[in-house]
Amino acid sequence: MSDVFDKCSNWKDYRIAKATGLYPYFRSIEASHGATEVEIEGRRVIMVGSNNYLGLSADPRVKEAAIKAVEKFGTTCSGSRLLNGTLALHEELEAKLAKFLNRESALVISTGFQTNLALSSILGRHDIVFTDRQNHASLVDGIRLGFATERKFRHNDMEHLEQLLSAADPDAGKIIVTDGVFSMEGDICNLPRIAELAKQYNARVMTDDAHSMGVLGETGRGVPEYFGLEAETDLTMGTFSKSFASLGGVLAGPFEVINYMRHKARSVIFSASMTPASIAAVLKSLEIIEAEPQRRARLLDIAEKMHNGFRAMGFDTGVSVTPVVPVHIGDQVKCFRFWKALHEAGVFANPVIPPAVEAGHALIRTSFMATHTDAQLDRVLDTFEKIGRRMEVIPETRPTVYEPVKIARPGTGVRSNKASEKWAAGSVGQLADKGGLTLEQLSRMSSREVAGKIFDAVEHLTWRAANLQPADLRKLGGASKRLWEKRGELPGLLLEKGAHFFMRNGQDGTTTTTQAERN
């Protein structure tokens, strides 16, 4: 005779972690000093484990707005948006977010988690949803709560996505759902290729821009703006607990779709609405995000500094090109030990272990705020270097060369990663060999189409980069060399050392024609 509670009493991980002193969770913060430093167990530590990207949670203007809302409207709305929990403030926020995000309509929901659950309301029995295997848990659950058929594609694997799309019933309603920036490893979805495939297979596209809204794109609208593909992205969502210094989320898109979700999504109509303080904090943060682009610029400078700072020491920051900077450790226990050493040395970062990442790919996730000082960042780097050497994650002496990371700057959609020119060119050649595309065909494609294909190939290879052997490189064959030689003839395409490619965004972000530029 078993008991529902048996699994709880039999669960050993917690006791083992506690007993070995390697328990890294639920660390209790006693005080905050401008959000970049916090007190834990009476000790002041540098916070590089937060999603407070723009540092607005401690901004006096944001605090003041929240306080005024409490004074005027109290501490709660005591009910759902549908019935008694809609304040004029909610509507003001929705109107301003719709405008900011360049969408017909926006819907504000009490948590980011529930914002993704709301997706379930449009997933009917005859629909098919195509979802990246590494999408956020709340998207996974939102899809499970819907009634559509689910088709998972391998992380950012566009060939796999295309296979699934081409195998699906052509008459079914389709939607491709992807994180914009993947939260644990900081890499970006291949939206250019997704947009192409969506068009080809008549699918809708939704991006989860939790980690990119306020951070990426010329005006901070997130990954769709970053790629100049807002018109191609039907629905976008963001969360307020990151750049917006609050709690909640937003779904934005066509009026009819948002209005339907407003009335049908269970996580909207059966849940109490955002508190007055939380709405007011988002309203003020949005105002600051629009007025102070220098925050985004500073954040991206910091991201670049940290990526390259870690890399110069010999650390591997993976495929990230965002302020989410994962420091790869590998072994899970070593990762916990690394975390503990950081904790003791006064650096607050987070261990990420399987199943959040693949087995053998445990990492320390760091993430940064526009308000971190260089002195704080240097202390963090210094601490990582000492521990990294002691624990033999990095060599005793710094490597002579490393693959630098170049971070996107507002105004350009820069995509950069550590794949070498060979991999990039080679993989386009590979596509040509496999898919019947010749170099001549490639040269007739629009720059965006080519960029999408390169992105796809680079992304795919980058994922395997850690394990890529010289033999693999050789297998790429002559195509890479030929493409590299002909790169000047391909319109709108720049291949350069490090496999960067550039797409400049147009003015309004929705009708952009991608153009390439030489750096």
Active site members: 183, 211, 242
The answer to whether 87 contacts a second copy (rule: CB under 8 A) is yes
CA dihedral 360, 361, 364, 368 (to 10 degrees): -170
User: Got the DSSP string for 497-517?
Assistant: TT--EEEE--SSSSSPPPB--
Footprint on residues 360-389 left by a second copy (CB under 8 A): none
Footprint on residues 344-363 left by a second copy (CB under 8 A): 348, 350
Among 98, 103, 114, 143, which residue sits at the site for a second copy (rule: CB under 8 A)? 114
The answer to whether 122 contacts a second copy (rule: CB under 8 A) is yes
Greatest C-alpha distance within the chain: 73
Among 36, 46, 49, 380, which residue sits at the site for a second copy (rule: CB under 8 A)? 49
| CB nearer to a second copy: pick between 117 and 158 | 117
The answer to whether 77 contacts a second copy (rule: CB under 8 A) is yes
Element of type H or E holding 377: helix 374-390
CB-based contacts of 426, cutoff 8 Å, min separation 6: 457, 461, 473, 476, 477, 479, 480, 483
* Residue listed under structure tokens 């002195």: 375
**Which of 272-280, 430-438, 445-453, 479-487 is the region at the interface with a second copy (rule: CB under 8 A)?**
272-280
The answer to whether 88 contacts a second copy (rule: CB under 8 A) is yes
φ and ψ at residue 278, rounded to 5 degrees: -70, -40
We find the least distance from the C-beta atom of residue 332 to a second copy, in angstroms, to be 16
**Which of 173-181, 190-198, 420-428, 495-503 is the region at the interface with a second copy (rule: CB under 8 A)?**
173-181
* Residue listed under structure tokens 């003001």: 92
Cβ atoms 369, 299 nearer than 8 A: yes
Amino acid making up residue 292: E
| CB nearer to a second copy: pick between 86 and 510 | 86
Element of type H or E holding 208: strand 203-208
Binding mask 285-314 for a second copy (x = CB under 8 A): ------------------------------
Tally of residues, the chain: 519
Among 96, 104, 145, 152, which residue sits at the site for a second copy (rule: CB under 8 A)? 145
User: Got the DSSP string for 251-311?
Assistant: EEE-HHHHHHHHHH-HHHHTSBPPPHHHHHHHHHHHHHHHH-HHHHHHHHHHHHHHHHHHH
**Which of 172-180, 301-309, 313-321, 480-488 is the region at the interface with a second copy (rule: CB under 8 A)?**
172-180
Q: What is the C-alpha to C-alpha distance for residues 308 and 296, in angstroms, rounded to an integer?
A: 18
Residues pairing with 367 in the sheet: 49, 324
Q: What is the C-alpha to C-alpha distance for residues 511 and 467, in angstroms, rounded to an integer?
A: 39
| CB nearer to a second copy: pick between 235 and 450 | 235
Site residue total, a second copy (CB under 8 A): 109
Q: What is the C-alpha to C-alpha distance for residues 483 and 443, in angstroms, rounded to an integer?
A: 10
Q: What is the C-alpha to C-alpha distance for residues 505 and 77, in angstroms, rounded to an integer?
A: 41
**Which of 29-37, 287-295, 401-409, 501-509 is the region at the interface with a second copy (rule: CB under 8 A)?**
29-37
The answer to whether 168 contacts a second copy (rule: CB under 8 A) is no
Among 32, 149, 163, 412, which residue sits at the site for a second copy (rule: CB under 8 A)? 32
The answer to whether 256 contacts a second copy (rule: CB under 8 A) is yes
**Which of 25-33, 96-104, 157-165, 431-439 is the region at the interface with a second copy (rule: CB under 8 A)?**
25-33
Element of type H or E holding 38: strand 37-40
| CB nearer to a second copy: pick between 274 and 495 | 274
The answer to whether 167 contacts a second copy (rule: CB under 8 A) is no
Q: Which of 315, 304, 299 has its CA nearest to residue 383?
A: 315
The answer to whether 30 contacts a second copy (rule: CB under 8 A) is yes
CA dihedral 65, 67, 72, 74 (to 10 degrees): 130
**Which of 44-52, 95-103, 292-300, 472-480 is the region at the interface with a second copy (rule: CB under 8 A)?**
44-52
Footprint on residues 437-456 left by a second copy (CB under 8 A): none
Among 12, 21, 26, 507, which residue sits at the site for a second copy (rule: CB under 8 A)? 26
We find the least distance from the C-beta atom of residue 361 to a second copy, in angstroms, to be 18
We find the least distance from the C-beta atom of residue 433 to a second copy, in angstroms, to be 33
